[in-house]
Amino acid sequence: MKQIIHFFILAVFSISLASCVGDDIVNDRVAEELKITNAIDTIGFESTYLFESRYLDNVGQRQEINVEWSSSNEDVISITNDGWAEGVGSGSAIITAEYQGIDDYLIDEIEVVVGANTTEVEVENITKEGTIMASSFYVLEGAFTVQEVDGDLLVEIAEDYKASTALPGLYVYLSNNPNSIGGAHEIAAVSTFNGAHTYTIPNVGIDDYKYLLYFCKPFNVKVGDGAF
């Protein structure tokens, strides 16, 4: 009888040892990205302008970095390490932002002309399009558009949208990584499973995120995504 009890205790103990929280590895590598976020067409002669940039690391998360700024012609436009540029001569120059990333050497550049006044690049009311596609065997599909309206992001899901009602805890996010909600912006729990509907996300720009990501929150499973 003692042997039986010992056997049972040993079995329970062994099982308990195996019941610790472990790690699941998520394949979340994406290409790094460096972008000048406040491009201008023209910089005023003897005017200054502060260029800004955004860096997304190799998991799509924004990181603050020290970008290396340079001008292709310092006699036309000079620029400091902080990104302060000044129009000092007539003509044009290429303004370059550079950064040695984790995986890649990143470069973004724009051409700027020196003129009478500083002029930002004219951005029309851009509407980006995308298609939601399932990455799982749950039904999830539909077209969508994204546009910036009065500083908010408007995500309009089209009439052809369908999502499975069987999966519990489905949430929708904005993300820069199609495989991870790390650094993502949670929009809402999904409450519409068929047809057109709209999400308005305050204080989010159209270039801040690249993917609409559907994620089963309780079981930490990606259900689908749509790039835009």
- Positions touching other proteins (CB under 8 A) are 1, 3-5, 7-8, 11-12, 15-16, 18-29, 57-59, 136-138, 164-170, 180-182, 189-191, 193, 216-221
Residue 24 or 46 with smaller CB distance to other proteins: 24
Please state whether 77 falls in left (phi above 0), alpha (psi between -120 and 50) or beta: beta
Residue 7 or 84 with smaller CB distance to other proteins: 7
Residue 91 or 218 with smaller CB distance to other proteins: 218
Residue 14 or 66 with smaller CB distance to other proteins: 14
Q: Closest approach of Cβ 162 to other proteins, in Å? A: 11
Longest alpha-carbon distance in the chain: 98
Q: Closest approach of Cβ 208 to other proteins, in Å? A: 19
Q: Closest approach of Cβ 36 to other proteins, in Å? A: 25
Residue 84 or 105 with smaller CB distance to other proteins: 105
Q: Closest approach of Cβ 106 to other proteins, in Å? A: 16
**Which is it for strands 140-149 and 91-100: parallel, antiparallel or unpaired?**
unpaired
Distance, in Å, from the CA atom of 93 to the CA atom of 49, rounded to the nearest integer, reads: 14
Q: Closest approach of Cβ 25 to other proteins, in Å? A: 4
Beta carbons within 8 Å of 208's beta carbon, 6+ residues apart: 153, 174, 185
Specify the residue for token string 């790390």: 182
**Which is it for strands 91-100 and 105-115: parallel, antiparallel or unpaired?**
antiparallel
Burial profile 73-96: b = 16 or more Cβ within 10 angstroms, e = fewer: eeebbbbeeebebbbbeeebbebb
